[in-house]
Amino acid sequence: MKKIIKHIGWFIKAEWKQYTIMFILLIGISIISLVPAKLLGEAIDTIVSSRLTASTLYLLAGLLLLIPIVRYSMSFLYNYMVTKEAQKLAYKMRQNYLKHLFNMDSKFYEMYEKGDLISRVTSDLEAITMAATSLLEGIVFNVGLIIFAIIVMGTTISWKLTLISITIMPIGISILNIIRSKKRKYIKIHREIYADMTEKVLESVEGQKTIRAYVQEENDLKRQSDAVNKDIESWRYIVRYENWFNPMFEIIYGIAYILAFSFGTFFIIQQDMTLGGLITFVAYIGQLYGPITSISGIFTQINNAHISIDRFEEIMRQTSEVHDEVDSLKILGFNEITFKDVTFKYPFDKNPVIKNINMTIRKGETIGIVGPTGAGKSTLIRQLLREFNVTKGTILVDNLPIESYKIEDIRNLVGYVPQSHMLFRRSVDENIMIGKPNATSQMLDKAVKIADFEKDLMFLHDGLHTLVGESGVSLSGGQKQRLSIARALIKEPEILILDDSLSAVDAKTEDNIINHLKEFRQGKTNIIVTHRFSAIHEADMILVLESGKITQCGTHQELIRQDGWYKTQFIEQMTMR
């Protein structure tokens, strides 16, 4: 319980007025809940003693009618407030979680799967919210009702009978809850299994076109069924545990009832108690059942919440290795970017992908990068996005380490078009304007023209306002690439990176895009990673990357005069035409 309070202490502190009102309401509800039983006992004693009068009857009837109305009003107000606070807490925690995710670097996303991250912000967050909001009711109302009932039973009816019948409850419940605490490890296992199931479902949804193309629906369905069955079985174990465990509370409660009736009858015979007193006492015993079982349920929620808090805080404790410093500098442009002995290894790889890279990128140049598949071309140019820190060496921007500048400013310098194109379920223009949400219509039209996407608009039923399906399912491969290029161009970036982003377009379209880049991006830097030499034959400098190292460097004319990978591949491509 301390862990829960500590985890949401900031929220309770911010909402202390609302929590104070809810606390008072719960105390009031718990006290009012005891009044009907007391009135019933008084009424029975009044009738048995022949002291019942019309005025007494009207008074008792009025009170019995008024009590549920007052309790309903207080319960309604409490439930409204607690629901509102629960939604507010869930919103703020989810907001903090998502904000934290956006601040994390690429290493973090290699450590955790999508399904795991989703389960922590859904099922785990729900468990925390439920425990946090029900904790007040569970502790204040239930404990308050139990304490007030025991005080009334002991002081106004019989302290002896109270001691005899109530003592077994806390002893038995404490023993049962010690046993129940062992269930926590099974809850943790279930959460991990649930996260794995979520990841498999996401993979199937995202890869449904590939699954259909290879006629793997049955195999994938079996894979999903295995994951779902594993999740169900893990939950079934917990349910069986509860089914075996819960009836034991009934036994404890039943023993308390038997003791109350047996000794209560004996006390009436001894004239130490009235019949109305016994009726009231037994009614209070009945009222204790709900709070006691609720408290046991709260212990379950607390156990679950502790596991969820551990999983939630595990994510929130993660820190990004790529981050701004207090004195990070702003940057709006550059003259020269220099790679000095840059080596980079992905966090969970054994060997570096690029090794001892030395090169200079000057403002206004067009750089071509070619090489065999897996040579590290994408890894090399992505160092400019600061997704990771370099393993060795340094990248200098105008003679200062790239780490000296604000990450956001560095990324704003770059318009990056990756090999895999992420399109959102929005209209074409909305997908393009993700690159610059405040772009004007003239900027949008210019980006569309440079990307040679104008000719496609006439084939889209709503032009720029055509809704793009999930992951761009309604567009061809070439259209996806050009839409992504337009998204990068609308930023008007100082550095445009095309990472094999012309592979799905025909030769004519490629020529159009390259010519548009020459025309509209004069004085700005272009970096083109490609397997087709036609896209870079006029580049100011071409780098040949093999096995993570730069093996050749020069213009197209210089490289075709040298023996090496570039000349060999160029001849092969010319032969295939």
What is residue 179's predicted lDDT score, i.e. its pLDDT? 60
Instruction: Evaluate whether residue 235 is within a structural domain.
Output: yes
- Asked if pLDDT for residue 314 goes beyond 70, the answer is yes
Query: Edge-to-edge, what's the strand order for the sheet holding 495-499?
Result: 414-417, 495-499, 525-529, 366-370, 541-546, 549-554
Give the mean pLDDT of 5-34.
85
Instruction: Evaluate whether residue 483 is within a structural domain.
Output: no
DSSP annotation string for 365-388: -EEEEE-STTSSHHHHHGGGGTSS
Instruction: Evaluate whether residue 230 is within a structural domain.
Output: yes
User: pTM of the predicted model, to two decimals?
Assistant: 0.70
Final residue in a domain of this structure, among 317, 346, 367: 317
Go through 530-541 and write b for each residue having 16 or more CB atoms within 10 A of its CB, e for each that does not: bebbbbbbebeb
What is residue 506's predicted lDDT score, i.e. its pLDDT? 83
Final residue in a domain of this structure, among 288, 317, 346: 317
Point out which residues pair with 360 in neighbouring strands. 338
Instruction: Evaluate whether residue 482 is within a structural domain.
Output: no
Instruction: Evaluate whether residue 402 is within a structural domain.
Output: yes
What is residue 489's predicted lDDT score, i.e. its pLDDT? 92
Specify whether 219 is located in the same domain as 271: yes
Final residue in a domain of this structure, among 284, 317, 350: 317
Specify whether 348 is located in the same domain as 255: no
Specify whether 340 is located in the same domain as 301: no
- Asked if pLDDT for residue 208 goes beyond 80, the answer is no
Please enumerate, as own/partner, the contacts of 149-156 that have beta carbons within 8 Å and a separation of 24 or more: 149/34, 149/284, 149/287, 149/288, 152/34, 152/38, 152/284, 153/281, 153/284, 156/38
pLDDT band for position 193 (cuts 50, 70, 90): confident
CATH number for 403? 3.40.50.300
Q: Cβ-count burial of 327 within 10 angstroms (0-12 exposed, 13-18 middle, 19+ buried)? A: exposed
What is residue 367's predicted lDDT score, i.e. its pLDDT? 95
- Asked if pLDDT for residue 577 goes beyond 70, the answer is no
Scanning 49-121, the segments in alpha helix (DSSP H) are: 54-103, 106-111, 114-121
| pLDDT tens per residue, range 46-66 | 777 777 777 877 887 888 888
Write out the two tokens for 327.
């004195």
Specify whether 280 is located in the same domain as 416: no
pLDDT band for position 406 (cuts 50, 70, 90): very high
What is residue 572's predicted lDDT score, i.e. its pLDDT? 85
- Asked if pLDDT for residue 213 goes beyond 80, the answer is no
Give the mean pLDDT of 366-389.
92
Give the mean pLDDT of 116-130.
84
**The total number of structural domains that make up the chain:** 2
Q: Give the residue numbers spanning the domain of 368.
A: 336-422+495-576
Cα 101 to Cα 252, 305, 388: the distances in Å are 48, 21, 15
Specify whether 364 is located in the same domain as 265: no
Instruction: Evaluate whether residue 411 is within a structural domain.
Output: yes
Specify whether 360 is located in the same domain as 281: no
- Asked if pLDDT for residue 248 goes beyond 70, the answer is no
What is residue 576's predicted lDDT score, i.e. its pLDDT? 66
Instruction: Answer whether 485's CB lies under 8 Å from 456's CB.
Output: no
Specify whether 303 is located in the same domain as 372: no
Give the mean pLDDT of 496-520.
88
More confident position, 247 or 111: 111
- Asked if pLDDT for residue 206 goes beyond 70, the answer is no
Pairwise CA distance, residues 272 & 108, whole Å: 71
Specify whether 58 is located in the same domain as 154: yes
What is residue 246's predicted lDDT score, i.e. its pLDDT? 61
Give the mean pLDDT of 366-395.
92
What is residue 356's predicted lDDT score, i.e. its pLDDT? 94
| Contacts with 40 (C-beta within 8 Å, 6 or more apart), sequence order | 276, 279, 280, 283
Instruction: Evaluate whether residue 456 is within a structural domain.
Output: no
Specify whether 516 is located in the same domain as 395: yes
What is residue 242's predicted lDDT score, i.e. its pLDDT? 65
- Closest by CA to 18, choosing from 109, 99, 85, is 85
Mean of pLDDT over the chain? 84
Tell me the residue type at 32.
Answer: I
Instruction: Evaluate whether residue 546 is within a structural domain.
Output: yes
| pLDDT tens per residue, range 133-165 | 777 777 777 777 778 878 888 888 888 888 888
CATH number for 242? 1.20.1560.10
What is residue 249's predicted lDDT score, i.e. its pLDDT? 67
Specify whether 68 is located in the same domain as 207: yes
What is residue 194's predicted lDDT score, i.e. its pLDDT? 78
Of 136-145, 291-300, 305-314, 478-487, the range with the lowest mean pLDDT is 291-300
Pairwise CA distance, residues 499 & 502, whole Å: 8
Tokens 């990771």 correspond to what residue?
388
Specify whether 11 is located in the same domain as 57: yes
- Asked if pLDDT for residue 126 goes beyond 80, the answer is yes
- Cα 351 vs. chain centroid, distance in angstroms? 32
Specify whether 340 is located in the same domain as 309: no
Give the mean pLDDT of 264-278.
82
| pLDDT tens per residue, range 336-362 | 999 999 999 988 888 999 999 999 999
What is residue 477's predicted lDDT score, i.e. its pLDDT? 81
